[in-house]
Amino acid sequence: MAASDTDCEASQVCKQHGACVAADGLCEARKDFDCKQTDACRLHGKCMARDGTCVAASNRVCREKLACSEQGLCIAGENGTCVAASDVDCAQANLCKNEGKCSAKEGRCVAVFDDDCRRAPPCQESGKCAAGDYGRCIAGSTADCRNSDACQTRGLCSEFHGKCVAQEGDCKGTVICKQKGMCTAVHGACRINADEDCAESVPCRTKGMCTERGGRCMAGADGDCRKSVLCEKNGWCRAEKGRCVR
């Protein structure tokens, strides 16, 4: 229990939530000044003390705060928080540009239209080009997955329940197959699963890491090292503890 204002002023709830005054054994927000010193004010517009808590009391304050430009939360709602109440506010927010969440619904910005999702980076990056049921952009088709960076680099080329995942044949030819030997689809992701996977990788040719052990590529025998660049150039032609040595 908070015995005094001094106890409250030294507490985290004062610094974080403006609750700096002792009342009936609890710390409460009773001064606008205390609220204005908090991150809750700077980020979320909760700059006024009302009934023991810091709240967002005006649209002007909400519009000045980071939550407006970042998340479209630009209007003071009835519950004392800044909310999204306008498609215009959402469309101007970074959440629209970055995640395709450009429409106001039930106090927050959500993804409603496929076109908004297609303009956002996650479409190209990870195939999330369609507006899903829960207000977020999801992978809506295998075609979107195959056109994404995630397909080319990580083999996540097939749509499954709103996500791009790796299925049989997706991993071959990808960056992680060539560079790391992650050439087999296992539970939706590309993994190192056999000696054949390691044999296709650059580390096999350069460092002799041609044998799969526990999901990793390593030098499993002297023969792995003898056909490597390390052996040819440096004389590291013997396998020891998973790597090539002299």
How far is residue 112's CA from residue 99's CA, in Å, rounded to a whole number?
A: 11
pLDDT at 19 over 70: yes
pLDDT at 2 over 70: no
Q: How distant, in Å, are the alpha carbons of 70, 76, 85, 210, 212 from that of 94?
A: 5, 19, 16, 46, 44
Q: How distant, in Å, are the alpha carbons of 22, 47, 66, 146, 232 from that of 35?
A: 15, 5, 16, 49, 69
Residue 171 confidence class, pLDDT cut points 50, 70, 90? very high
- Nearest to residue 86, comparing CAs of 108, 62, 111? 108
Residue 1 confidence class, pLDDT cut points 50, 70, 90? low
Check residues 84 and 200 and name the one with the higher pLDDT.
Answer: 84
Give per-residue pLDDT as tens, 129-155: 999 999 999 999 999 999 999 999 999
pLDDT of residue 232: 96
Q: How much helix, strand and coil, in percent to the nearest 5, is found in the chain?
A: 40, 25, 40
Residue 28 confidence class, pLDDT cut points 50, 70, 90? very high
pLDDT of residue 203: 97
Residue type, 126: S
Average pLDDT of span 75-86: 96
pLDDT of residue 15: 94
The residue whose two tokens read 């050439």 is: 183
Model pTM?
Answer: 0.83
Nearest 5°: the CA angle 26, 30, 34 is 105
- Nearest to residue 83, comparing CAs of 64, 65, 103, 109? 109
Give per-residue pLDDT as tens, 89-98: 999 999 999 9
How far is residue 129's CA from residue 95's CA, in Å, rounded to a whole number?
A: 15
How far is residue 43's CA from residue 55's CA, in Å, rounded to a whole number?
A: 12
Q: Residue length, the chain?
A: 246
